Amino acid sequence: MQLAPLASGEEDKGGGGGEGAADGEVASCKGLLSATPGPTPDPTPSHNNKVTPTPSMTLLATASTGGAGSVTHTTDIHVRETWNKKVEFLLAVIGFAVDLGNVWRFPYICYQNGGGAFLIPYCLMLVFGGLPLFYMELALGQFHRSGCLTIWRRICPALKGVGYAICLIDIYMGMYYNTIIGWAVYYLFASFRSELPWTSCGNSWNTENCVPVLNVSAQHANSTSPAQEFFTRSVLEQHLSDGLDHMGPIKLSLAVCVLAVFILVYFSLWKGVRSTGKVVWFTALMPYIVLFILLGRGVTLPGAADGIRYYLTPQWHKLYNSKVWIDAASQIFFSLGPGFGTLLALSSYNKFHNNCYRDAILTSSVNCLTSFLAGFVIFSVLGYMAHVQNKHIEDVGLEGPGLVFIVYPEAIATMSGSVFWSIIFFIMLITLGLDSTFGGLEAMITALCDEYPRVLGQHREKFVAGLLVFIYICSLPTCTYVSFIFRLKFIFLLQCDLMLLPGFCLVFRLIMRPRISIKR
């Protein structure tokens, strides 16, 4: 299948709007893009890969200004670097979509909104909301072969600010998301000892209210578990802060863990898709290996069947509640991640005639099935914890970080071979988080390098290093005693953007209605 598109927007000779683009002079622009081979260009390095470009594609753009006639521009567009293998692109997209939210958010949202009945609005929102946006972003990125800044300038120069808004969202994400991965790194290092530190109450950070999980008879209304005190008093040290007016100093151990995350991110992104394509083989596949291992262990635990039954039992009456449908839509947008510019960036490195429609269906389906699988992993353990503590399941489960940093480690501490289970669990969390932060930061890097190729694109390695140093410095407040409060504020901002920005992009794109003819 070949595309012969009539695209909106004028192609710049300099490759970037910040380097000589006359956006204000263009009232309307209609271009014919033909995939006919042109003369072999000079071996000019692109900003992503210093290789000799292959035959170029030719953009014949006709721009009319103020109704005073038309001017024809002919520009050679050097072929963009592409993924070495198609599977690397698929792994990168799946890795971005399948993140920590699939593990700690979907299971909670599912059982809170009707269990198995929730799958009906969830699938409907996927088909009519998430998948169209997902496909639209993949198609736009693959067609324009550039980042979000250049794409929005081509669609409508007045809305170039949408691209900058996407970059700001990516900075927010990098500031708080890497901190969460840093927590997982902290837990991973803490797991390399003969006994997990959140198993007993005899540590320096424990209080008199600490009661071991298995000591049910000693539990009371104000009792806390060792895992809860380890997270709040040892990792975050929230008890040393009274709020935002007393942030306290930066906790060095957390700052070092977050720095380790940024170093991993840098060496995964500095060479573009050449380096990212190699890393995703591990970061995208490792979570599935661990999920299946944890599922095999979880279903053998006492009480696991009760937890899974609680997870899947449909409560049909909840479908009459509008909140269930709103939660289904928010979960789809939260999980698939449209509006971050990541899908635009990743698909821009595809071959022009790649079947992105099939890719959208495949990757979005894998993402949703992964969320469903994670529910079995989580609820088998929640059923086990309810059995051990003689509680109802709804009294055990927590949403968000509390689920993966308190409840699940608490359950692991009661199992035989707890050190092994803890190590592989937090390796899974780290790889889940790394894939998502790769995608978010690559969206901003690709956008800026495409828009300013001479200033930034030709010095990608230095630019990526400087950008990550800047984001790391901005994220240091999340390593203070009020880090949890900062993280909640960032999540609130991002969830608002998740609902507003993709919806605005979809409505505007439907209004513009670009003419794309498909030739077989």
List, as residue ranges, the binding site for Na(+): 95, 97-98, 102, 335, 367, 432, 435-436
Three-state DSSP state, 224 = strand
Calculate the CA dihedral of residues 343, 377, 190, 275 and round it to 10 degrees. -30
Beta bridge partners of 30: 8, 62
C-alpha angle with apex 289: 406 to 90, nearest 5 degrees? 110
Helix (H, G, I), strand (E, B) or coil at 377: helix
Q: Write out the two tokens for 420.
A: 């092994």
Which residues does the annotation place in the binding site? Answer: 95, 97-98, 102, 335, 367, 432, 435-436
- Cα–Cα–Cα angle for 174, 175, 176, nearest 5°? 100
**DSSP string spanning 282-328?**
HHTTHHHHHHHHHHHHHTTSTTHHHHHHHHH---GGGGG-HHHHHHH
The rounded distance, in Å, linking the Cα atoms of 437 and 445 is: 12
Buried b (16+ CB within 10 A) or exposed e, 247-265: beeebeebbebbbbbbebb
Q: For the residues of 116-176, what is the DSSP string, one character each?
A: GGGHHHHHHHIIIIIHHHHHHHHHHHHHH-S-HHHHHHHH-GGGHHHHHHHHHHHHHHHHH
- In the block, which residue shows the tokens 């694109």? 457
Residues 271 and 463: beta-carbon distance below 8 Å: no
Helix (H), strand (E) at residue 519 = strand 515-519
User: What is the rounded distance in angstroms from the CA atom of residue 464 to the CA atom of residue 446?
Assistant: 10
Cα gap 320→342, rounded to integer Å: 35
| Cα–Cα distance, 375 to 381 (Å, whole number) | 10
Report how far apart, in Å, the C-alpha atoms of 477 and of each of 485, 490, 501 are: 10, 12, 27
